[in-house]
Structure 1
């Protein structure tokens, strides 16, 4: 049960799986029905069901298919080869390079799932649908991001199925700007640029569900490219079923955010944010289609595009169907606003090739001059296109239109018989602004509405309009219209008396908000993630943001609200950490990376020293304000911990995560760290924590630990993948090569057949060059990770051990001192020459002594150990 710190109430949001912690990217799936912990924990042969789609086989794309999770080698062929009927492709955390268009067709129940922080990367200037999966049935794509930060890259994703299309949790990372696209079509550019996302349901009875797809494209405005510019979502005539787009976000596309009007299939947009796209934010047409409960906005003052001043037309919603004649789509319960723009012909627009459409129970605001809240053009067709089929009615009901726009009308409807404006509220504060104008549109009605405008309430040139029950004054509901209204957290600065000034910085996105009745003041400026502003007596400035507040300075008598909670200015530092007692005494200690202060409830046993605190709580709560991040924490006893109002565990707050991912064969491990250590997930029977060390074993599952400080030692007995903070640091095919100094100075050199990297204690005296290394040890230990086998090696102390894999020999050369040695291999070892008294072979081991001369052995397999007296040892372990 999660406690809401601001109100003292509780809810089950975290129990339902909606809670996540940014630094735990492998919990990214926590919001889904199954949750990250339950994702495909069975064997590759076990049948699983995900999002209603059944898979009989799973493929680990690293272990089984051979993809490179570090993004160095292409993964195109591996994906194409692994995708098959009833097969789920699992991608462990990492980056996977795609370099070309990959087509996978005619598959039944094929899935692609990222397990943690997974992204596809592309090379510079790639302008292709990088993954096309179509012409089958049953398709899942979930929790895999598309990274388009390579210069000039404009990749897209294309997913089609006759039924059971399930697409979830995708983020497009970066800006999709084709290098040859020109604003407003100037110059020699205007290439056809790949659309970001193309979903299709090909059967009339088929369904598709798309949730949490985010693309903040922030592209080049004016690059409509005569219709060939980059689109956010394209759904065209091939779509015949029903697609639901839920809680998606598309921003900054030069050729429509959602372009879903040229289809006879159904497109239902539920929730989400669609902002600052050129041409239109959301474009629909067909019967049964709608956009509902969405935030739709043109606010170019808060655009991250490189050239918002070149925008062509920032309409909110547009209804049109080209030459196809579809009609019947609706806008329902939406917040639509034109806050700041260079060009727009309306917040909601019905094109000349649009048939009948409806807007209801929505809130529309227009602040720029000469722009209508609703405009239905005459249904005459466009260019050579025929007029759309009847009916042509435009219906606007239960809708408010507000704002300070000057000129023209709030609503205009041309040549559309039987249109209705009813139960609406129009309040226009600009000058020379009329209410409703119906041109040459007989049999139309305007009724039961408030129309408070400086001009005329209703105009009807060329026709007679029935009006009844109209009021000339009243207040109207206003939309959430600012950039910050769609962001998850809220900060408001409210004047108590007199003027105030402030500056604040956040770690994520930042935008102005209308929360607590705030107005959007152009004198308040945002630069990146920093806002600087001022307000007058009784004024309110509000912001929406993501992440954390990292700095806030306020001058004046104000009340500051953070997520509906009052925050004392003299104590607030960006974050609040709270410890709630549950009845019995519990002790805690923690450290943070920035400033730390007491916030509430601190008494006798609670102390702060610099950026660290210790305390105890039995009932009530101890609360601290701090800047930065929690760097260390431990709690002994029964205590509930909250960070910024969200319940967390000490494991979730520790800065590092170490994960042991079993590869099917039982492998034991042990490790030590320099800070606090706790189990996080999967810790059971054989797994033990003893102070700063832990030991355990894993087969096909995962053991996950959280800790602070650094890893001081790690030992593995077999094949296993090890991740540190989602980064793969040891693969199942890696060996660990350790050179232990026993006290006297020893030099060494070696080369391996695979990749080589330093792991611990590799310093200035040690050097890695490709797959070779040189160095020295005295009393310490140098540790490397290596792929493949030792090809050559040499240890030099009072004797010299030389290993030559190509010759299949190990030689121990005496230099005059009496030195004992021990050799262990994974295969066989037998004498070659110089073997005599005191030398012995037993199985895969050899031991002996040298003073002068050379003892030489032949061997098969791999080197496991080479030890020289008490001077030095070289060991290799998996």
Structure 2
């Protein structure tokens, strides 16, 4: 399902005059690995008939003294436009339209987000008080390898990732704080997002290795705070979001509940975002292999005057709903291979680790590990039609939990399901002291279910697939830290996540050396210790403290 969209598109393009070849980075087109949503496949790109330098070809200013929109207002067909290392001013909405084209920064072949240091970094920058948007739409193409810098006071840069076929967006870093909030908030026409995923019906937009870290002020959700990814009414095709790091944004990490199309999330590290990390609904939409952490005690993102993190705005790891726009999709969302940790909640508390609103249809939870040390249920599913929107999703409405592990300290109410016919839990271990079947409501308890500290029945069917630890490209990079004053550090080390802290101590090593050292070390711990991934996270926190 996930990789097949790419394969099918390249097959179709191969029958058109603009023939697609193998990628310029050595990956071959048409790889079907990971079908059925179980793998991302290899990111590929079309070959272009020519590559041009944006400074030499269009005369754009690499020193940030003149907006690029004054020099470039269209992209030549079948052309890869490379912005070299430098600073490029953006203001207002800059549109890039073509059938087949690419717009990339100097580091686009590195296959990692730019670090922000060195002459090979391409940075688009907005001046103080300036709103800017980069708006891309092609049938086939490649966009990425650059930073968006809005560290100036009251500045903001957003991005529209459109597609009329199969478009790849990768390695983009948002560096700055959304501080244009309160009475100075941008009006709604500028969008409620850092990145809008906007594929046409039948088309696919894929975002890979995006980094949005420390971009939001807690409590500003309803007064100008932004979602990380917005998949709204204009997301009519398939939005694919893979190996991204999204931490401390002031609204949802992914808001996909209002999309008539499919929202598919693969891997990534999602830490201390407000409202929810992954929010989606309906058949064809899923979150697979993501690591999601909610931990108020270790929140070290921006602060402001609107309350502490999880003070004014409660949060969840997963929220399944179709929003208040009434868009109806076939029922059947999936959550698989997730690592969810509810470690500390702060004054507001959490509604649940996983919440299915009354407008959300069926949800299958498969091969997930949920650690809950706070005072809330791990899973809550409202009766169909309940909740703020009042909408009722099409049948079926059942919740299915299989091959999963629940652990932690909270045994009061582990799973609370209301009015959802044929809901079933099976092959699952509730390895929580004092847990019993009485802590599971609204579900039939099937075969292979165990309870208590010594639980021996059920559990993960494939531990290696759980969380982004099975896909380290999601975690082994960090973004600059923004503060509420609008200033930012461009150090490539550090970051609020556990992976960022680990790499902060290795920042002097070459990147290849980091990979050689870190990956065998991590997997060695998993094999030798037999520890859970949750234990590994705690180990890294202690290591970096």
- Same-fold call, TM > 0.5? yes
In structure 1, the residue matched to 2:358 is 352
Distance 2:458 2:390 in 1: 42
CA contact (8 A) 2:104 2:146 kept: yes
Distance 2:150 2:334 in 1: 33
SS of residue matched to 2:179: coil
1:545 is aligned to 2:494:
no
| Among 281, 293, 297, the residue aligned to 2:293 | 297
In structure 1, the residue matched to 2:193 is 195
| Among 45, 51, 56, the residue aligned to 2:49 | 56
| Among 265, 268, 272, the residue aligned to 2:261 | 265
Higher helix proportion: 2
Q: How does 1:172-183 map to 2 (within 5 A)?
A: 172-180=174-182
Distance 2:468 2:77 in 1: 46
1:244 is aligned to 2:246:
no
Between Structure 1 and Structure 2, whose CA radius of gyration is higher? 1
How much does 1:320 deviate?
0.5
In structure 2, the residue matched to 1:636 is none
How much does 1:223 deviate?
1.5
Distance 1:476 1:272 in 2: 23
Q: Cα–Cα, structure 1 residues 169 and 80, in superposed 2: closer, same or farther, change >3 Å?
A: same
In structure 2, the residue matched to 1:112 is 103
Q: How does 1:141-290 map to 2 (within 5 A)?
A: 141-180=143-182, 192=188, 194-204=192-202, 206-225=203-222, 229-290=225-286
How much does 1:309 deviate?
5.0
- CA deviations on 1:89-118 (whole Å, 9 max, x unpaired) are 11111111101112344x211210111311
Distance 1:168 1:153 in 2: 23
How much does 1:157 deviate?
0.2
Distance 1:266 1:256 in 2: 17
CA contact (8 A) 2:45 2:141 kept: no
SS of residue matched to 2:139: strand
CA contact (8 A) 1:378 1:415 kept: yes
CA contact (8 A) 2:274 2:310 kept: no
- CA deviations on 1:350-399 (whole Å, 9 max, x unpaired) are 11110111110010111112x11111111124446332211111111111
How much does 1:64 deviate?
1.7
| Among 321, 329, 333, the residue aligned to 1:329 | 333
CA contact (8 A) 2:168 2:205 kept: yes
CA contact (8 A) 2:134 2:159 kept: yes
CA contact (8 A) 1:348 1:375 kept: yes
Distance 2:509 2:139 in 1: 46
How much does 1:646 deviate?
4.4
- CA deviations on 1:652-675 (whole Å, 9 max, x unpaired) are xxxxxxxxxxxxxxxxxxxxxxxx
Where do 5+ consecutive residues of structure 2 fail to align?
1-21, 27-42, 108-120, 478-490, 518-545
Distance 1:367 1:62 in 2: 54
CA contact (8 A) 2:494 2:505 kept: no
| Among 488, 494, 509, the residue aligned to 2:494 | 509
In structure 2, the residue matched to 1:451 is 451
CA contact (8 A) 2:175 2:215 kept: no
Aligned length: 434
In structure 2, the residue matched to 1:398 is 403
CA contact (8 A) 2:321 2:360 kept: yes
How much does 1:217 deviate?
3.3
CA contact (8 A) 2:282 2:361 kept: no
CA contact (8 A) 1:403 1:430 kept: no
| Among 361, 367, 371, the residue aligned to 1:365 | 371
How much does 1:120 deviate?
0.6
Distance 2:436 2:446 in 1: 20
Q: How does 1:766-777 map to 2 (within 5 A)?
A: none
CA contact (8 A) 1:209 1:244 kept: yes
TM-score (norm. length: structure 1): 0.46
SS of residue matched to 1:62: helix
SS of residue matched to 2:318: strand
In structure 1, the residue matched to 2:12 is none
How much does 1:162 deviate?
1.2
In structure 1, the residue matched to 2:113 is none
Distance 1:259 1:144 in 2: 24
In structure 2, the residue matched to 1:637 is none
- CA deviations on 1:734-755 (whole Å, 9 max, x unpaired) are xxxxxxxxxxxxxxxxxxxxxx
Distance 1:86 1:481 in 2: 35
Distance 1:104 1:197 in 2: 15
Q: Cα–Cα, structure 1 residues 384 and 213, in superposed 2: closer, same or farther, change >3 Å?
A: closer
Q: Cα–Cα, structure 1 residues 275 and 434, in superposed 2: closer, same or farther, change >3 Å?
A: farther
1:133 is aligned to 2:136:
yes
In structure 2, the residue matched to 1:733 is none
In structure 1, the residue matched to 2:58 is 65
Where do 5+ consecutive residues of structure 1 fail to align?
1-31, 37-49, 182-187, 454-470, 490-505, 516-528, 530-543, 551-627, 631-641, 648-878
Distance 2:309 2:195 in 1: 23
1:319 is aligned to 2:317:
no
Distance 1:383 1:339 in 2: 27
- CA deviations on 1:672-708 (whole Å, 9 max, x unpaired) are xxxxxxxxxxxxxxxxxxxxxxxxxxxxxxxxxxxxx
Distance 1:476 1:511 in 2: 30
Distance 1:400 1:431 in 2: 13
Q: Cα–Cα, structure 1 residues 418 and 74, in superposed 2: closer, same or farther, change >3 Å?
A: same
Distance 2:256 2:430 in 1: 29
Q: How does 1:695-774 map to 2 (within 5 A)?
A: none
Q: Cα–Cα, structure 1 residues 220 and 433, in superposed 2: closer, same or farther, change >3 Å?
A: farther
CA contact (8 A) 2:290 2:467 kept: no
Distance 2:79 2:102 in 1: 6
CA contact (8 A) 1:284 1:319 kept: yes
How much does 1:33 deviate?
6.1
Distance 2:173 2:236 in 1: 26
| Among 423, 427, 433, the residue aligned to 1:423 | 427
Q: Cα–Cα, structure 1 residues 147 and 340, in superposed 2: closer, same or farther, change >3 Å?
A: same
How much does 1:218 deviate?
4.0
CA contact (8 A) 2:282 2:360 kept: no
CA contact (8 A) 2:430 2:455 kept: no
Distance 2:514 2:335 in 1: 36
Q: Which has the higher contact order (CA 8 A, sep 6+)?
A: 2
Distance 1:211 1:629 in 2: 25
Distance 2:46 2:81 in 1: 13
Q: How does 1:24-35 map to 2 (within 5 A)?
A: 34-35=24-25
- CA deviations on 1:285-334 (whole Å, 9 max, x unpaired) are 12111111110111222221313253512200111112223331111111
Distance 1:512 1:120 in 2: 25
In structure 2, the residue matched to 1:77 is 70
1:93 is aligned to 2:89:
no
